[in-house]
């Protein structure tokens, strides 16, 4: 080794724990609602009292297989339950019911965006040219969550308390292959994973409440004297924000680099480590040596029968998994020709926003105008009021009606925005009523005809200029038309005058 310059590759695998959006726990009927008073959502089953028997929650199987289908996994026709034994205060049974050798889903993948061929911006690239990196998924298995220990949370009292409301809540643990090669990629993977789970109703994806958390396995493959050596793998536990995933990996890469330079130790010379992320100090901290698999003494759970999923059930899971973010991206970009960047803003707003947009188009609005209004007026309203699209007071058919009246020349954009304000104030009004309320009266055809004839006879110079090939000169007439009749549509004036001049020559 010479100096501090190292040639290396970062190797990352993520284990993402997704809390499933079931109403009740995995093996009992206790509710899973977040934020209830401690130990109010518990029963003999999730407390692990002797003699209490678990009963499987079918909804957890439905959500897990739907998630697996969305991640292109094989869904098992036969899956079973195993006990993972360890002792920890937040695990009242002394074991966690999990899945060891026969997980419900295996061998899938998730694609993450990584730019376009020959460029670094994916904004305007068609889907076909955008490069995606495929992250393989090894397996996804169901397991129950543990409870929560709270240390020193009461002023002046150095005690520890336990809240078992979360114990027994269903988790899907999704294990990737070590295909991620930067902190940014890990963050992108996690972001897309969350989006898929929320789009499909598998999880609420609420990271502040711990509905999605990750463990990251990180090490470096370093080139030394023509061969590649690997640093010991470090597992960073319980990363519960996108930012934490990114920062913890960045920190760990630097730490492993300097550790390697200092000691030269490689994989095999140091056991796998478990480290925790300290968000305040911005560093990973050694927790304990990683238990070997055998330490958990897995064995099949004698209280639960295996689960058999027939072909029809697995087909239904695949159908339920159809509405992924990728499906909607293709709709927006390929079918409706939105710019990729605009489509992504809409996609990140959630499935309901995308459905709202598609409903505008289904009701006759043009794709371009609908996206401009969604991304400006509607988003601004939602942000200002702090509400979701489901709470937006105007339904798609009514807004589409308003947008169509711009296309038809009935109103211009600024008039339509005034009409929108009126619609927000008067929920029972139609788009037409809000336009009428602005005092915009449709000028009938014969009136326009007379007006244009008058303008042409009063402005022979304009007529001559147009005849000489300067069509833009007709704009002078538009201003005059507005003065004579404020409801005259500029576009109609322009078209009609040009037509009349053409007929005369």
In whole angstroms, the minimum distance from the beta carbon of 31 to Zn ion comes to: 9
Choose between 46 and 365: whose C-beta lies nearer to Zn ion: 46
Residue closer to Zn ion by CB (options 47, 422) is 47
Q: How far apart are CA 180 and CA 130, in angstroms?
A: 18
Cβ neighbours for 433, distance < 8 A, ≥ 6 positions apart: 426
Rounded least distance, CB 310 to Zn ion, Å: 29
- Whichever of 58 and 458 has its CB closer to Zn ion, that residue is 58
Record the tokens describing residue 456, joined without a space: 């042409």
At 438, give phi and psi (nearest 5°).
-80, -5
Name the minimum Å distance from CB 167 to Zn ion.
8
Provide, rounded to whole angstroms, the least separation between the CB of residue 238 and Zn ion. Answer: 23
Q: Which is nearer to Zn ion, 168 or 178 (CB)?
A: 168
Q: How far is the CB of 28 from Zn ion (least distance, A)?
A: 3
Q: Which is nearer to Zn ion, 28 or 112 (CB)?
A: 28
Vertex 352 angle, CA 350 and 353, to 5°: 70
Question: Which is closer to Zn ion, CB of 145 or CB of 252?
Answer: 145
Q: Which of 47/261 has CB closer to Zn ion? A: 47
Q: Say what angle helices 475-484 and 490-504 make with each other, to 10 degrees.
A: 120
* Distance between first and last Cα of the chain: 88
Other C-beta atoms lying within 10 Å of the C-beta of residue 216? 28
Whose CA is closest to 186, among 250, 128, 273? Answer: 250
Q: Which tokens is 246 given?
A: 């990114």
Q: Cβ of residue 396: shortest distance to Zn ion, in angstroms?
A: 42
Radius of gyration of the chain (CA): 31
Q: Please state the closest distance from residue 30 (CB atom) to Zn ion, in A.
A: 3
For residue 504, give the 3-state DSSP assignment.
helix
Comparison of 16 and 45: residue with beta carbon closer to Zn ion: 45
Nearer to Zn ion, 164 or 172 (CB): 164
- Give the residue with the Cβ less far from Zn ion, 139 or 166: 166
- Give the nearer residue to Zn ion in terms of CB position, either 30 or 358: 30
CA dist., res. 439 & res. 132, Å (int): 52
**What CA–CA distances, in Å, run from 433 to 248, 345, 402, 430, 442?**
56, 32, 10, 5, 13
**Site residues (vs Zn ion, CB under 5 A):** 28, 30, 43, 45-46
Nearest approach in angstroms of CB 24 to Zn ion is 8
**At closest approach, how far in Å is the CB of 23 from Zn ion?**
13
Strands (E), 145-291: 148-151, 160-163, 170-176, 212-224, 227-230, 234-239, 273-278, 283-289
**Nearer CB in complex with Zn ion: 52/424:** 52
- Shortest approach of Zn ion to residue 46 CB, angstroms? 3
Q: Residue 83 Cβ, how far from Zn ion at the closest point, in Å?
A: 17
Shortest Å distance, C-beta 168 to Zn ion:
6
Q: Which two tokens stand for residue 203?
A: 């999880």
Alpha-carbon dihedral of residues 389, 390, 392, 394, nearest 10 degrees? Answer: 110
| Number of C-beta neighbours around residue 466 at 10 A | 23
Please tell me the distance from the alpha carbon of residue 70 to that of residue 162, in angstroms, as a whole number.
36
Q: Whole-number minimum distance, CB 44 to Zn ion, in Å?
A: 7
Q: Given the complex with Zn ion, which of 46 and 140 has the nearer CB atom?
A: 46
Please name which of 300, 298, 48 lies closest in space to residue 167, comparing C-alpha atoms: 48
Closest of 345, 19, 6 to residue 166, by C-alpha:
19
Q: CA–CA separation, 260 vs 223, rounded Å?
A: 12
Distances (CA, A) of 350 to 35, 151, 201, 397: 24, 36, 11, 20
Q: Can you tell me the distance from the alpha carbon of 58 to that of 311, in angstroms, rounded to the nearest whole number? A: 16
Q: Which residue has the tokens 């997704």?
A: 18
Q: Pairing between strand 299-300 and 82-85?
A: antiparallel
């Amino acid at each position: 080794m010479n100096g501090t310059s190292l040639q290396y590759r970062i190797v990352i695998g993520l284990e993402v724990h997704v809390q499933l959006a079931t109403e009740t726990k995995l093996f009992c009927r206790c509710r899973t609602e977040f934020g209830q008073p401690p130990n109010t959502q518990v029963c003999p089953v999730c407390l692990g009292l002797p003699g209490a028997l678990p009963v499987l929650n079918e909804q957890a199987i439905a959500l897990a297989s739907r998630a697996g289908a969305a991640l292109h996994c094989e869904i098992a026709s036969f899956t079973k339950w195993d006990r993972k034994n360890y002792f920890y205060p937040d695990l009242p049974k002394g074991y966690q019911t999990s899945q060891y050798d026969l997980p419900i889903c295996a061998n899938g993948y998730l694609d993450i965006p990584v730019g376009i061929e020959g460029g670094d911006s994916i904004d305007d690239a068609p889907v076909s040219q955008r490069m995606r990196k495929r992250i393989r998924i090894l397996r996804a298995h169901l397991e129950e969550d543990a409870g929560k220990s709270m240390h020193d949370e009461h002023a002046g009292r150095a005690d520890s308390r336990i809240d078992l409301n979360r114990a027994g809540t269903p988790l899907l643990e999704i294990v990737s292959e070590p295909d991620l090669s930067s902190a940014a990629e890990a963050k992108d993977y996690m972001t897309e994973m969350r989006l898929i789970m929320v789009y499909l109703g598998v999880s609420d994806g609420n990271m502040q409440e711990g509905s999605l958390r990750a463990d990251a396995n990180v090490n470096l493959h370093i080139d030394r004297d023509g061969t590649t050596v690997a640093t010991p793998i470090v597992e960073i536990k319980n990363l519960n924000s996108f930012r934490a995933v990114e920062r913890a990996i960045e920190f760990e890469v630097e730490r492993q680099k300097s550790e390697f330079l200092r000691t030269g130790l490689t994989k095999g010379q140091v056991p796998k480590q478990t480290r925790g992320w300290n968000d305040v100090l911005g560093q990973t901290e050694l927790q304990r040596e990683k238990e070997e698999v055998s330490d958990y003494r897995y064995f099949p759970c004698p209280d639960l029968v295996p689960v058999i999923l027939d072909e029809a059930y697995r087909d239904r899971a695949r159908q339920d998994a159809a509405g992924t973010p990728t499906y909607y991206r293709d709709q927006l970009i390929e079918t409706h020709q939105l710019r990729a960047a605009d489509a992504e803003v809409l996609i990140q707003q959630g499935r309901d926003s995308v459905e709202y947009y598609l409903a505008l188009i289904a009701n006759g609005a043009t794709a371009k105008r609908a996206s401009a209004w969604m991304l400006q007026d509607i988003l601004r309203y939602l942000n200002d009021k702090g509400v979701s699209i489901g709470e937006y007071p105007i339904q798609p058919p009514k807004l589409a009606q308003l947008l169509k009246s711009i296309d038809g020349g009935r109103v211009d954009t600024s008039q339509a925005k005034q009409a929108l304000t009126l619609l927000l104030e008067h929920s029972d009004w139609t788009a037409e009523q809000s336009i009428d309320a602005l005092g915009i009266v449709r000028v009938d055809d014969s009136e326009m005809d007379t007006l244009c004839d008058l303008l042409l006879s009063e402005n022979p110079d304009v007529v001559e200029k147009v005849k000489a090939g300067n069509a833009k000169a007709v704009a002078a007439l538009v201003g005059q038309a507005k003065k004579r009749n404020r409801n005259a549509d500029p576009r109609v004036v322009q078209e009609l005058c040009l037509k009349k001049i053409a007929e005369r020559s």
